[in-house]
């Protein structure tokens, strides 16, 4: 089974600290590299973690607060300097294209490859990327400006026909596609063989949801229900609940509440305010609500099982 993982490049909010860079995550799925958010320093983090930037073909920018996109122009420039020719796809809310174009213009730059911008709508469930291995959908978050989360999940795989069933019933090639989809098989003698007798379940599909930045919002539950890994922002702890509400961010307890209600397998917290130093308190606050939780750390790869 191919690896499906998330490497956190930056777990800090708003401004970088000595230990936490700004938002950025590299998702590896079906041997493809997807970048989610690109705060200042993201390209440096990619390099430090020995991740080949040229393998990134899709960049998703959740929203246009600077800590989520000010690093994009530098990354795109470096791709150019290193001789990229492959196009890149960038999914973002309206306005990003203009900033990238102005920066290229004043720096007298013309990229060696094509930028394909795709405007995000402020809606859930819009399919952004879909191929035979995985798909990426938008999640409408609740922030002070239009902001999208992303659901990345493997595509439902066909059922596996048992080798011994093919031999036993002499199943013709023409019938196999239907059986893989779950159809029963009728022998030449007219006997119907139940699908579950001749197939086994495909590998379970795995999924990851990225929800940052957002206030507590139950609207997202249907989008993230049952995911294997939920990255949810937790800028604050409950001591700053009012501040969280006011700035459209979440507390650790709120993120955990979402994880619990959505029945996800594991929760990863991040986007921590620089004011907090005792991170075990963060973990404890979340664990009191939802047990299987981890705190994001820069440079750590989280495997989606």
Interface ranges with a copy of itself (CB under 8 A): 14-18, 21, 40-41, 43-44, 47-48, 64-67, 69-71, 73-74, 77-78, 81-82, 95-96, 98-99, 102-103, 105-109, 144-145
For residues 183 and 47, give the distance between their C-alpha atoms in angstroms, rounded to a whole number: 49
Smallest gap from residue 289 Cβ to a copy of itself (A): 29
Q: How many CB atoms lie within 10 A of CB 182?
A: 11
Give DSSP secondary structure letters for 152-213. Answer: EEEPPPPPEEPHHHHHHHT--HHHHHHHHHT--EE-TTSPEEPHHHHEEPPPPP-EEEEE-S
Task: State the catalytic residue, choosing from 37, 67, 213, 298.
Answer: 67
Smallest gap from residue 44 Cβ to a copy of itself (A): 5
CB nearer to a copy of itself: give 14 or 259. Answer: 14
Smallest gap from residue 273 Cβ to a copy of itself (A): 11
Lookup: tokens for 95: 């306005």
Catalytic status, residue 67: yes
CB nearer to a copy of itself: give 130 or 246. Answer: 246
- Find, among 111, 116, 133, the residue nearest to 33 by Cα: 133
Smallest gap from residue 61 Cβ to a copy of itself (A): 11
CB nearer to a copy of itself: give 104 or 162. Answer: 104
CB nearer to a copy of itself: give 45 or 199. Answer: 45
Strands (E), 55-141: 56-60, 88-92, 115-119, 127-130, 134-140
Q: How many CA atoms lie within 13 A of 185 on its CB side?
A: 26
Query: What residues act catalytically?
Result: 67
């Amino acid at each position: 089974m191919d690896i499906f993982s998330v490497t956190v490049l930056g777990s800090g909010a708003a401004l970088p600290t000595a230990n936490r860079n700004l938002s950025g995550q590299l998702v590896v799925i079906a041997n493809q590299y997807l970048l989610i958010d690109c705060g200042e320093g993201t390209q440096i983090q990619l390099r430090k973690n020995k991740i080949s930037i040229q393998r990134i073909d899709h960049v998703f920018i959740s929203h246009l607060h600077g800590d989520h996109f000010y690093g994009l122009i530098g990354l795109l420039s470096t791709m150019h300097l290193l001789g990229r020719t492959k196009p890149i796809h960038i999914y973002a809310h309206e306005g990003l294209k203009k900033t990238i174009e102005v920066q290229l213009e004043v720096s007298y730059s013309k990229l060696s490859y094509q930028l394909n911008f795709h405007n995000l709508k402020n809606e859930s469930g819009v399919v952004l990327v879909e191929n035979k291995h995985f798909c990426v959908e938008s999640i409408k978050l609740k922030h002070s400006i239009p902001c999208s989360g992303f659901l990345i999940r493997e595509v439902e795989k066909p059922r596996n026909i048992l080798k011994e069933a093919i031999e036993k019933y002499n199943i013709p090639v023409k019938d196999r596609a239907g059986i893989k989809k779950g159809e029963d098989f009728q022998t030449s003698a007219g006997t119907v063989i139940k699908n579950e007798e001749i197939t086994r379940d495909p590998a379970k599909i795995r999924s990851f949801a990225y929800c940052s930045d957002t206030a507590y919002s139950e609207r997202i539950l249907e989008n993230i229900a049952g995911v294997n890994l939920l990255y949810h922002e937790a800028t604050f702890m409950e001591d700053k609940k009012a501040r969280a509400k006011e700035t459209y961010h979440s507390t650790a307890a709120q993120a955990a509440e979402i994880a619990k209600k959505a029945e996800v397998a594991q929760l990863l917290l991040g986007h921590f305010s620089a004011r907090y130093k005792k991170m075990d308190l963060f973990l404890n606050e979340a664990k009191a609500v939802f047990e299987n939780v981890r705190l994001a750390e820069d440079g750590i790869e989280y495997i989606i099982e």
